[in-house]
Chain A
Amino acid sequence: MTKTIREINEKIQAGKAVVVTAEEIIDVVKEKGLKRAAQEVDVVTTGTFGPMCSSGAYLNIGHTKPRIKLGGGRVYLNDVPAYTGLGAVDIYIGANALPDDDPRNRVHPGEFNYGGGHVIEELVAGKDIRLTATAYGTDCYPRRRLETWINIKDINEAVLFNPRNAYQNYNVAVNLSDRTLYTYMGVLKPHLGNANYSSAGQLSPLLNDPYYKTIGIGTKIFLGGGVGFVAWHGTQHNPNVLRTEKGVPRRAAGTLAVIGDLKQMKPRWLLGTSMLGYGCTLTVGIGIPIPILSEEILQYTAVSDEDIFAPVVDYSEAYPQVKSDILGEVSYAQLKSGKITVLGKEVPTASLSSYSRAVEVATTLKEWILRGEFLLTEPVAPLPGVESGITLKPLKERPIEE
């Protein structure tokens, strides 16, 4: 039994497609068996909603009169610096950017209450954003200063463009030291006081398509409450990691670069986020539809939390010092039970990505498809797979001799 994306789209348009979420498919396969389920189900929707640091948006704010060349100048949005190494009035605001006068970690742990992620959230919410800029002035762009309110509805373009999102699996963070750690994986209490993880597990997009057989460049997705696309493989995309017999990565593996029109997104799905003692980021909602083209594809989507394993990593030593030793592996079923055992000790778990909101993403995408509003796309090119030979390279430092 095989289907094509075109056939599935025809069924969607006719209102006859069968769409289930990556959580629901688990029971469908248990009940009906792989073969029948693959015949009956056309699309499985996935979802995730978690902090994704490599996120940001580029804006074209429109030309002033007289003109100003922001490129090479300085621009702040609500006091948060935006990148200006682009053409005249194009700027990029990154989720991790912080106001120049933010105390950061001078008093540790810093609070990081407002940064680029919060600017993006407020922009999407339709709030006015204060833009202040200085430029050096040219014959064709004479103006040197600009202070104005901008609003997403008035500017030419506002595009979310995230270089690394939707990690396929991730570390479980613990702390073996005797002091509290403030990390991008949350607050880690000393002596294995807690364990934090961040993946939707069985609902997570790339864990449902472990070998990138359907998700590729050009795949249309749910992004930040609107429609976006997979633009490229994400930075640090690392398909060559340990995998289970069923092909599920046992370490952080694939990633996605995603893009979409910020103007039709919603603040509920792009949330400015503060990690105590670490910095600011953006919590992003992403959902990807997986066309059930064959039994094999369906089998991948039927993966459950019991089948997905993540490495437990010590963030007091192994992570900061880039040591590869792990303290063991645990399944997402164990993580979601509320406690795991590490080095013989029972450790309470907590998640940084929201499973209930991931379900909401997958369910929303399912409803869009069922209503015929969202058709599937054929990837333009595949993501690099295991055969690409890509591995994650550390920086080889070469001393600069003066």
Chain B
Amino acid sequence: MPVSKRVVLHFPKRLVDRPIVYRLVKDYDLEFNILKALFTQDAEGLMVLEISGAQEDYDRGIRYLTESGVRIQSLSQDVIRNEERCTHCGACISICPTGAFELAPSTRRVNFDNEKCVACGQCIKACPPRAMELHF
């Protein structure tokens, strides 16, 4: 059964200069799409990937990454809305490329759907009260 999941990969310093991710394609027959990559010298590396393939291959691929020392987090936890600061104005709605924000017609409040979020970060700076926070 095919699956497609978005995950955040944390690369410890010792792994930053080693080729790892390409093996998902080569050895595990998985496709991936890089949503975000942050690598700086002498620091932990970070990558947000959308990985697709058969469930069995996906599980094996994730196991390989974990055994290599990559820490894996599911993506949905990473962009968080500070409910205290959000005013439900809606400035984020047309900024978000994946439609993760939606104005509920009855309450006129903005719903944030973590599942649709790809952690691109565009809403973070576009939010006037700065209610959106990126956590890795």
Q: How far is the CB of B66 from chain A (nearest CB, A)?
A: 36
Known: A274-B130, A283-B128. A356 touches B88 (CB 8 A): yes
Q: For residue B94, which residue of chain A has the nearest CB?
A: A194
Q: Decide if A348 is an interface residue (CB 8 Å cutoff).
A: yes
Interface pair B128/A51, CB less than 8 Å apart? yes
B77 neighbours in A (Cβ, 8 Å)? none
Q: Decide if B93 is an interface residue (CB 8 Å cutoff).
A: yes
Interface pair B94/A348, CB less than 8 Å apart? yes
Interface residues of A in 339-391 (CB under 8 A from B): 348-357, 359
B90 neighbours in A (Cβ, 8 Å)? 350-352, 354
B residues sitting closer than 8 Å to A (CB atoms) are 85, 87-95, 103, 107-109, 125-126, 128-130
Q: How far is the CB of B105 from chain A (nearest CB, A)?
A: 8
Q: Decide if A84 is an interface residue (CB 8 Å cutoff).
A: no
- How many Å lie between the Cα of A338 and that of B93 in the bound state? 9
Interface secondary structure of B, over-half rule? loop
Neighbour of B88 across the interface among A186, A187, A194, A354, CB < 8 A: A354
- How many Å lie between the Cα of A336 and that of B103 in the bound state? 9
Interface size, A (range)? 20 to 34
A-B contact count (CB 8 A): 72
B109 neighbours in A (Cβ, 8 Å)? 356
Interface pair B126/A353, CB less than 8 Å apart? no
- How many Å lie between the Cα of A356 and that of B92 in the bound state? 15
Q: How far is the CB of B108 from chain A (nearest CB, A)?
A: 4
A196 neighbours in B (Cβ, 8 Å)? 91, 94
- How many Å lie between the Cα of A338 and that of B111 in the bound state? 14
A350 neighbours in B (Cβ, 8 Å)? 90-95
Interface pair B130/A351, CB less than 8 Å apart? no
Interface pair A111/B125, CB less than 8 Å apart? yes
- How many Å lie between the Cα of A281 and that of B129 in the bound state? 10
Known: A348-B93, A350-B90. A271 touches B129 (CB 8 A): yes
Interface pair A351/B128, CB less than 8 Å apart? no
Q: Decide if A218 is an interface residue (CB 8 Å cutoff).
A: no
Q: How far is the CB of B26 from chain A (nearest CB, A)?
A: 38
- How many Å lie between the Cα of A351 and that of B109 in the bound state? 11
- How many Å lie between the Cα of A275 and that of B127 in the bound state? 8
